[in-house]
Chain A
Amino acid sequence: MHKKTKILLCSVGISLMLGGCSGMNSANNNQESEKSKETQAAPSEESLISVQDYTGEGYALPYGKETDKIADESLDEIEEAAIEFFKEKYKTDVTVHNVVGAKDGATVFVESKGEPHFYTYAVVPIDELEKKVMTEKIWADQFQVENAIKGGLYHMIFNEEFQQLDDYLETIAAEGQVTGKTKDALQNVGGHGYMTPYYFIALTSKEEAIKPVYDLYISNPDESTENLRNAYEEGSFNPENFKINIQLFMADKQAEPSEEIFNQITKELEEMDSIPKGTYSFSLNDNFIDKQSSEGAKDNSLKRGFPDYIIKE
């Protein structure tokens, strides 16, 4: 795994020095100071790491060890190819944050510049035997990229509603008991469309309301937000096809997911009516995240999801 941005890497050991590794995210700073214990409980598995410390370091895709090394040799070329690919195919300027070896290729994590804001990824095929990176054959899962852009567009044109949701989640995090993924983690290994530290947006292929907005954006990436908003087909909206997946972590390394907090947030989500319409899932995890997959949902997580979503009509 390679960092495009130089990050001060802190070693995450069994015991963390007090005030040692502070998160990159300012939202985490207040809980850092609340730590009073000299020794922290060790994660059960070395593949787990505290969410505040997770920057994407350790993310690894199956069968990607060799391709990772090969990709390492051609980072500049891959970066260039990815930027060109998104510009060409999706009319969008992106920043390349990270390249990770995968099966038969390397996954290139990118972030769009400006609005619509989203994270996604492309794949550069790699011939492992020839040790060849085939940048000319770069591709992306069309469904994933389109949904990333559509999610970003949603966030753009429903700015006020999303502001409500974002404010609410930031307020909760500011109370210090729960937190979200770091910005670095999103940039380096996010790739799931519109993402914030606390949630990401997912659309199904049946989501039609945003389609004309997407078409307009692709035909003219500089279109004003107002015009994009006007292209939106309110009538075709069905909350089932628009998902907002909220995922929070306990801020304290030793805390199990708190039923109390979980129930409180669930209740508040159910009651709020100024937040965006759609299908909400919510999971509250302990403090740890799986390095390799960047997944925080685990066995002990408290989850509100399929088949019992929170639906905002």
Chain B
Amino acid sequence: MGTLKGSPNINTGIAANNDKDLVELAGLHAYTYPLFESVLQVNNTDYTVIDTRYEDPTGLDAMTVVNMETEEISIIYVGTDASGKYGNKDILTDAQLLSDLTPAQLAAARSYYTEMNQKFNQVGGVKSIAGNSLGGGLVGAVAVENPEVNAVTLNPALLPEGMVDPNQTYDNITNYFSSYDVLTQTLIALDLHGRIPGKQYEIFNGIPEFSKLATNHTGYLRNEDGSQFYVIGEVGKPGYGRIYIDADAHIVSSIWTGIPLYGGHSERIEINKENLDILASSLQSHVTERLNLAHEYLGNSVAIVEDEGNRFYERLNRLQNTFEDLFENIISEPLFLGITAISNRLTAEIDHLISLLNIAESHSKSLNYILNSPPAELLEHIFRTNVSVESLFAELRNQLYELRSNIQNISRGIINIVSDKIPELFRGGKDAWYDAIVGELNAHYGIVNGNRDKLLSHISEFQKQVQDVAANFQMRDQSLGQSIKSKSTHSDSISVQGTNTYKLEDSPYMELRMKIKEFQMDTAYTAFTASTQALLFPLLEKGQLLTFAVESTLEILSSSIKGAANFALSYTIPGKLISLFSDFDDKIRNSIANALEPLDELAATIEGVRKGLGRLIVEYPTLLNNFRPYVETAIFDNSGYFNVHLYNLASIAILREMEMLFDDVVYQLGNHKAEAIDALCEVSKKVKSNMGILYEQVDRGTIN
């Protein structure tokens, strides 16, 4: 929005028109040390550096520039930390110190102003001073003492205590705060911004990302010529785009006078053909341009949501695989590898255990055979002993079968979790979507996009009406008013664009705003936790009981078999039978050992299984904890979600600015005797209220 020289009722001497240039000079050019008498270009205006003060021992850096169009002189202050002039100070330190403007630097800043004001006194003296951050603090210090100078700051630092008189308004000072600027936000939070003199306006540039702190602080990311932006997303991926952050593009100024519209309306202007033309052309260019940018941002949000929607199965599968991996990894027991499949290693292992049992059984049978057929000579000396273990073997076999089917049930349970319970994590939302967050955002955007298009048509219709009224302004005003109201486009050869109704649709969605994800996460995850535990725990506990049972049966079995060696001998075995007996005894012992060996292996394996199951019970809550972040990203990719928020934020910033602009339009068109203008005013009110509705809807897509 250029300034309009020579428009009626405008005091061209108002330096406020310069605010944008000054903010850019302070936030961008001042950091490059232009040499004495070099020329800079800011927003298509040339500025010459007519004095420099870069070597000041206090750490003050300043330059004096002249606007070559208006010949107005301004001082741009760059505050630096005197102790480490180029210490690349952390902005947070800035915030902690709140203000390390040393008295020496403040004094130097003041005397520099006085010096320059005197030096250039022949050509009007210093009209404005500007600076950002610490430089902004210096500006404040100079301006409180010099009410005749126009001062502009961007995110200024605090002045030392006692410098600002609370009873004064300091109307010569305008401070712009970028939302999300850490330093000023901190000051506001600490309620210290009373130490920043003058008017305070928020401009909506910058985005709240911690890593962009430094950039938010000066408002500029030196990127490509003249346009400064953050890059969002990844190249080639949906939603990749830019958010433009030029601090000066966000300063809203009156369509007619170029004076910043903060804290009030611009001066009343006369509504005549010329001013209507200005309004029409601004609606066509600037307003449409800004709204198109907002449109582009929203388009990027939508692209991110759509892409997320298209990747539903990919997100789901990834989450399923993650769960399976986590499940296998929490039991560091090789036996459990593949437990998440129905035919797994563990069931195969139990089959193997059953075969071991068979081996043990055949060995115990042969043991019995040996016991039952001792050498005849020994018969009278030995009590008949028999190891009766068939029933034990049968019992053990049954227990193992049962354990195997239990393990299979556990596997089925896990498979059920993966195939049914995990998809349930995605379900929910207002219309019970299968992909809740995407569904809700999509539904909401369906309405927002329709409304956005309506608003754009509304504005372009309004623009046509303004144009038509301007064109016919010489004609009879009354009939004009009639034709706007009656929606007819004919009346005494005057044709005016008729008024249509643009009613924006309400959106029942996103009532929880961006908290929907958190909400989905909490409800779905709680349900998931409860249902999976209900499913798994009984099975796991049963498995544990079964392994205990197997182990105790094994104990009895082993001791029975071992008992076979303790056959009682009659008083004494005659000496000549000793060797015979020894042979027999050895045979028995060998046979016992043979029967016990597979049983020992079996016992060791079962112990592993029991421990594994126990660990599953103990560790499952941990698994759920570890699983949670994966779910969060799968429900809607975290960075994508944040980018949706950022784009929405950027577009509501524009909508907010446009609302302010229209507020001024309504004000300027109001209270005119002319009927046509009244009619236009009515339309502009509707446009403004529609902007408000859209603003609120887009705002729902931001994280507060």
Q: Which of B51, B55, B86, B225 contacts A63, CB < 8 Å?
A: B86
Q: Given that A137-B224, A200-B35, A307-B120 are known contacts, is A293 also in contact with B88, CB under 8 Å in the complex?
A: no
Q: Smallest Cβ distance from B687 to chain A, in angstroms? A: 37
Is A202 a contact of B38 with CB atoms below 8 Å?
A: yes
Per the bound structure, the CA–CA distance linking A245 and B32 in Å amounts to 18
Is A290 a contact of B39 with CB atoms below 8 Å?
A: no
Interface set, chain A 211-261, CB cutoff 8 A to B: 243, 245, 247
Is B211 a contact of A295 with CB atoms below 8 Å?
A: no
Q: Given that A62-B31, A103-B218, A306-B66 are known contacts, is A293 also in contact with B87, CB under 8 Å in the complex?
A: no
A11 beta carbon closer than 8 Å to chain B: no
B322 beta carbon closer than 8 Å to chain A: no
Contacts of A306 in B (CB 8 A): 37, 48, 50, 66, 120, 123
B311 beta carbon closer than 8 Å to chain A: no
Q: Smallest Cβ distance from A220 to chain B, in angstroms? A: 24
Contacts of B41 in A (CB 8 A): 143, 205
Is A48 a contact of B55 with CB atoms below 8 Å?
A: yes
Q: Smallest Cβ distance from A266 to chain B, in angstroms? A: 15
**CB-CB contacts of B28-70 with A at 8 A, as 1s and 0s?**
0001110111111100101010111111010001000010100
Q: Smallest Cβ distance from B33 to chain A, in angstroms? A: 4
Is B54 a contact of A243 with CB atoms below 8 Å?
A: no
Q: Smallest Cβ distance from A95 to chain B, in angstroms? A: 21
Contacts of B225 in A (CB 8 A): 139-142
**CB-CB contacts of A93-130 with B at 8 A, as 1s and 0s?**
00000000011110100000000000000010100110
- How many of chain B's residues have a CB under 8 angstroms from any CB in A? 44
Is B37 a contact of A62 with CB atoms below 8 Å?
A: no
Is B33 a contact of A61 with CB atoms below 8 Å?
A: yes
A294 beta carbon closer than 8 Å to chain B: yes
Contacts of B31 in A (CB 8 A): 61-63, 102-103
Looking across the interface, which residue of chain A has its beta carbon closest to that of B226?
Answer: A142
B396 beta carbon closer than 8 Å to chain A: no
Is A202 a contact of B37 with CB atoms below 8 Å?
A: yes
Q: Smallest Cβ distance from A151 to chain B, in angstroms? A: 11
Is A147 a contact of B78 with CB atoms below 8 Å?
A: no
Per the bound structure, the CA–CA distance linking A65 and B87 in Å amounts to 6
Q: Given that A64-B88, A283-B36, A295-B36 are known contacts, is A205 also in contact with B46, CB under 8 Å in the complex?
A: yes
Looking across the interface, which residue of chain A has its beta carbon closest to that of B40?
Answer: A143
Looking across the interface, which residue of chain B has its beta carbon closest to that of A245?
Answer: B37
Q: Which of B36, B80, B89, B224 contacts A139, CB < 8 Å?
A: B224
Q: Smallest Cβ distance from A125 to chain B, in angstroms? A: 6
Additional A-B contact list (7), CB under 8 Å, known A243-B37, A247-B36, A295-B36: A65-B86, A102-B31, A103-B214, A139-B223, A140-B225, A143-B40, A204-B39
Query: Could you list some 19 contacts between A and B, CB below 8 A?
Result: A45-B57, A47-B85, A60-B86, A61-B31, A103-B218, A104-B221, A139-B223, A142-B225, A143-B41, A203-B39, A205-B46, A206-B46, A283-B37, A295-B52, A295-B54, A298-B55, A305-B36, A307-B66, A307-B122
Per the bound structure, the CA–CA distance linking A245 and B214 in Å amounts to 35
Looking across the interface, which residue of chain B has its beta carbon closest to that of A240?
Answer: B68
Q: Smallest Cβ distance from B293 to chain A, in angstroms? A: 21
A281 beta carbon closer than 8 Å to chain B: yes
A155 beta carbon closer than 8 Å to chain B: no
Q: Which of B35, B40, B61, B120 contacts A294, CB < 8 Å?
A: B35
B215 beta carbon closer than 8 Å to chain A: yes
Contacts of A192 in B (CB 8 A): 35, 38
**CB-CB contacts of A44-68 with B at 8 A, as 1s and 0s?**
1101100000000000111111110
Q: Given that A44-B57, A204-B68, A307-B122 are known contacts, is A107 also in contact with B38, CB under 8 Å in the complex?
A: no
Q: Smallest Cβ distance from B504 to chain A, in angstroms? A: 39
B628 beta carbon closer than 8 Å to chain A: no
Q: Which of B36, B38, B46 has the most CB of A within 10 A?
A: B36
Looking across the interface, which residue of chain A has its beta carbon closest to that of B28?
Answer: A103
Is B222 a contact of A123 with CB atoms below 8 Å?
A: yes
Contacts of A307 in B (CB 8 A): 66, 120, 122-123
Q: Smallest Cβ distance from A181 to chain B, in angstroms? A: 11
Contacts of A290 in B (CB 8 A): 54-55
Contacts of B220 in A (CB 8 A): 104
Looking across the interface, which residue of chain A has its beta carbon closest to that of B36?
Answer: A297
Contacts of B224 in A (CB 8 A): 137, 139
A292 beta carbon closer than 8 Å to chain B: yes
Per the bound structure, the CA–CA distance linking A192 and B39 in Å amounts to 10
Contacts of B44 in A (CB 8 A): 205
A299 beta carbon closer than 8 Å to chain B: yes
Q: Smallest Cβ distance from A100 to chain B, in angstroms? A: 10
Q: Which of B48, B78, B86, B221 contacts A64, CB < 8 Å?
A: B86
Contacts of A293 in B (CB 8 A): 33, 52, 54-55, 61
Contacts of A247 in B (CB 8 A): 36
Contacts of A64 in B (CB 8 A): 86, 88
Contacts of B85 in A (CB 8 A): 47, 60, 62, 292
Contacts of A140 in B (CB 8 A): 225
Is B214 a contact of A62 with CB atoms below 8 Å?
A: no
Q: Smallest Cβ distance from A69 to chain B, in angstroms? A: 10
Per the bound structure, the CA–CA distance linking A20 and B44 in Å amounts to 49
Per the bound structure, the CA–CA distance linking A48 and B32 in Å amounts to 18
Q: Which of B39, B86, B221 contacts A292, CB < 8 Å?
A: B86
Contacts of B122 in A (CB 8 A): 307
Contacts of A245 in B (CB 8 A): 35-38
Contacts of A141 in B (CB 8 A): 225
Q: Given that A60-B86, A104-B214, A307-B122 are known contacts, is A295 also in contact with B35, CB under 8 Å in the complex?
A: yes
Q: Which of A61, A128, A202, A203 contacts B32, CB < 8 Å?
A: A61
Q: Smallest Cβ distance from A256 to chain B, in angstroms? A: 15
Q: Which of A44, A67, A128, A297 has the most CB of B within 10 A?
A: A297
Contacts of A104 in B (CB 8 A): 214-215, 220-222
